Amino acid sequence: MEDRTALLFPSTRPTPHSTPLSIIDSSVASYSPCSALWLFGKSDEGWSASALQESLRRTLDVYPQFSGKLYIPQYDAEAAVRDHTRRFGRIHIAWGNKDDPGLQFTFASSSKSAQEYIPLMSGQRTPLRTPWDLFPDLQSIPNPRREVKPCVLIKVTLFADGSLAVGIALHHSLSDIQTLCTFVRDWGAAHRNLTLTQRPFNPLAVDDHAPYLDEMQESPTLRDRALKIPQIRLDYWAGGPSRAIKSATAPHEAIDHLDEAQGRPRGTPIPWDTWDSKAPVSDAYIHFSREQLELLWTRASAGRRVSRLDALLAHLWRLVVKARQLQDEEIVHFDMSIGLRSRLYPPLGDTFLGSPLINISSSVGAAELIDRPLSDTAALIRHTVEKADSDSLNALLHHLAFALDPEREWNAFLGKHHCMVTSWLSTGSWNIDFGAGRPLEVYSGISALDGLMVIMDEPCDLFDASRRWYEDGVRIRMCLATNVMDKFLADPEFSGTHA
């Protein structure tokens, strides 16, 4: 049977509405889509495309923006002077209109079984091959600077044995993994005929934390405070082709005069020569038990105030740098994606919808990282995270609001000098039920790139929000150049049981 695709809208047409997205949402517009895949077993009633579509329409009653249109208003220099949401490249979304693109829903069938897509664990490592055929086409996510298309794509695949795959991709300006899991969990609840909780969509609640957004000029004091947050700041305008992310390498003609008036300052060029994006990459889950995590934390917390996650990340970073066999003086970076929901004050709340995240980085010489004890590396990571306090984040929001182009700067990278880590811990990715119980497997829809780490919960039969993430152990999706992965896994320290 051929795939069937439909454009879906809320079951009740919403009133027309438009809103700017947040400062942060606009800054992540060039990121890869936020995407994930869930595999489920058989349903007692059997899976039905029409039933899944109907429950999805009811879910869109709560998330009408997911059927709407991402767009960038025509740049108006006069309006931009006093309204930060009208500055160049700021993304808006509109819904409830006749020209809404809708949510793209595809229903497919497969002669296989969901069980065939579940990775087979082998010791502490599980080789991984992401089943991209079960995802929607990630390349179809629109670029709001050029096109209007559905910004949420869903592909549902029914297997011959009655099991099911649900693959979803959203434009990253609309959703991080926290928002994605909240949405899918609500869809599952709607499919089980439960009453859904209303989910207010107020992206400008992020901007409300920042002072003086609509002034004519940036505050030097706030700028200086923002720049104390430990970030790498790679400038697309500083020269060289944009190879991996589709961002402009020069100012748009509409803002070129502003760049000229500022003296055309340029930051650090993107070090493309340190990332061989064509080299083979190995992809695997790495597992650590609760006992292993406790041992790592005990080692890392000797005389230090660090968390278990700090200890784990420090352990992984050190092993990766050792395996890469860099020169002693080469500087290495650990780029961490952190959420802002709980870091801003007042906090936004766990179910806040959007993509409120930034990247921060720990940086150190390769030899220093390897030679010093684990506790020093964990303390460095803890120090980096603590620099992103609420007052500093407010200053950063102010600083970003005055960026000539919100996509100009990249605060993370990949390749031999970088690790880039994102966390799915405690997002409830396993706490999703369409009527057949918890998922059989959850995949992250991120391409396997050298240096990528995704920290994920281990599968659990019963989700308990009161349990700590480390109580069931943890798994890390680890992507490394194949020759580096081999050395990483062969390191005697890999298991965490050797000092």
Q: What is the per-residue pLDDT across 131-188, written as a single tens digit (0 to 9) for each?
A: 999 999 999 999 999 899 999 999 999 999 999 999 999 999 999 999 999 999 999 9
Q: C-alpha angle with apex 232: 230 to 238, nearest 5 degrees?
A: 145
344 shares its domain with 475: yes
Q: Given CA atoms 261, 267, 272, 277 in this order, what sign does their dihedral have? A: negative
Q: What is the CATH number of the domain that holds 180?
A: 3.30.559.10
Q: Is pLDDT at 237 greater than 70 in this prediction?
A: yes
Task: Return the pLDDT at 460.
Answer: 74
3-state helix, strand, coil in the chain (%, to 5): 30, 20, 50
What is the rounded CA–CA span in Å between residue 452 and residue 277?
Answer: 12
Tokens of 206: 């992020």
315 shares its domain with 463: yes
Q: Is pLDDT at 378 greater than 90 in this prediction?
A: yes
195 shares its domain with 227: no
Q: Is residue 495 part of a domain?
A: no
Tokens of 352: 């806040």
231 shares its domain with 156: no
What is the rounded CA–CA span in Å between residue 21 and residue 203?
Answer: 5
CB-based contact 292:400 (threshold 8 Å)? no
Q: Is pLDDT at 1 greater than 60 in this prediction?
A: no
Task: Return the pLDDT at 138.
Answer: 95
Q: Is residue 499 part of a domain?
A: no
Q: Is pLDDT at 424 greater than 90 in this prediction?
A: yes
Classify 288 as helix, strand or coil: strand
189 shares its domain with 335: no
- Identify the domain containing residue 374 by its residue range: 214-438+446-490
For residues 118-123, give the mean pLDDT.
Answer: 83
pLDDT interval class at 122 (50, 70, 90) = confident
CB-based contact 70:171 (threshold 8 Å)? yes
Lowest mean pLDDT among 39-48, 64-73, 120-129, 334-343: 120-129
Last residue of a domain, one of 205, 233, 258: 205
267 shares its domain with 189: no
What is the rounded CA–CA span in Å between residue 191 and residue 187?
Answer: 6
Q: Given CA atoms 453, 458, 463, 465 in this order, what sign does their dihedral have? A: negative
Task: Return the pLDDT at 2.
Answer: 67
What is the rounded CA–CA span in Å between residue 426 and residue 445?
Answer: 18
Burial label for 325, CB within 10 Å (0-12, 13-18, 19+), is exposed
- The predicted-structure confidence for 265-294, as pLDDT tens digits, reads as follows 999 999 999 999 899 999 999 999 999 999
Task: Return the pLDDT at 247.
Answer: 73
- Which of 143, 31, 71 lies closest to 445 in space, CA to CA? 31
Q: Is residue 496 part of a domain?
A: no
pLDDT interval class at 25 (50, 70, 90) = very high
* pTM listed for this prediction: 0.96
Largest CA distance in the chain: 67
CB-based contact 360:387 (threshold 8 Å)? yes
Q: What's the Cα-to-Cα distance from 31 to each of 15, 244, 246, 351, rounded to whole Å?
A: 30, 10, 9, 21
- Which of 488, 434, 477 lies closest to 455 in space, CA to CA? 477
237 shares its domain with 271: yes
* DSSP 8-state code for residue 470: G
If phi over 0 gives left and psi between -120 and 50 gives alpha, with beta otherwise, what is residue 212? left
User: Three-state secondary structure along 293-358?
Assistant: HHHHHHHHCCCCCCCHHHHHHHHHHHHHHHHHCCCCCCEEEEEEEEECCCCCCCCCCCCCCCCCEE
Task: Return the pLDDT at 244.
Answer: 58
Tokens of 223: 């700028």
For residues 35-55, give the mean pLDDT.
Answer: 96
Q: C-alpha angle with apex 382: 380 to 385, nearest 5 degrees?
A: 110
200 shares its domain with 233: no
What is the rounded CA–CA span in Å between residue 79 and residue 92?
Answer: 15
CB-based contact 37:167 (threshold 8 Å)? yes
What is the rounded CA–CA span in Å between residue 258 and residue 261?
Answer: 5
238 shares its domain with 172: no
Last residue of a domain, one of 166, 186, 205: 205
Task: Return the pLDDT at 245.
Answer: 60
Q: Please give the tally of structural domains in the chain.
A: 2
Residue 133: CB partners within 8 Å, gap ≥ 6? Answer: none
Tokens of 243: 């190879």
Task: Return the pLDDT at 240.
Answer: 67
- Which of 286, 285, 282 lies closest to 118 in space, CA to CA? 285
Task: Return the pLDDT at 251.
Answer: 94
257 shares its domain with 186: no
- Which of 406, 420, 345, 433 lies closest to 166 in space, CA to CA? 433
312 shares its domain with 250: yes
Task: Return the pLDDT at 239.
Answer: 78
Q: Is residue 353 part of a domain?
A: yes
258 shares its domain with 179: no
- The predicted-structure confidence for 429-484, as pLDDT tens digits, reads as follows 999 999 999 999 999 999 999 999 999 999 876 666 678 899 999 999 999 999 99
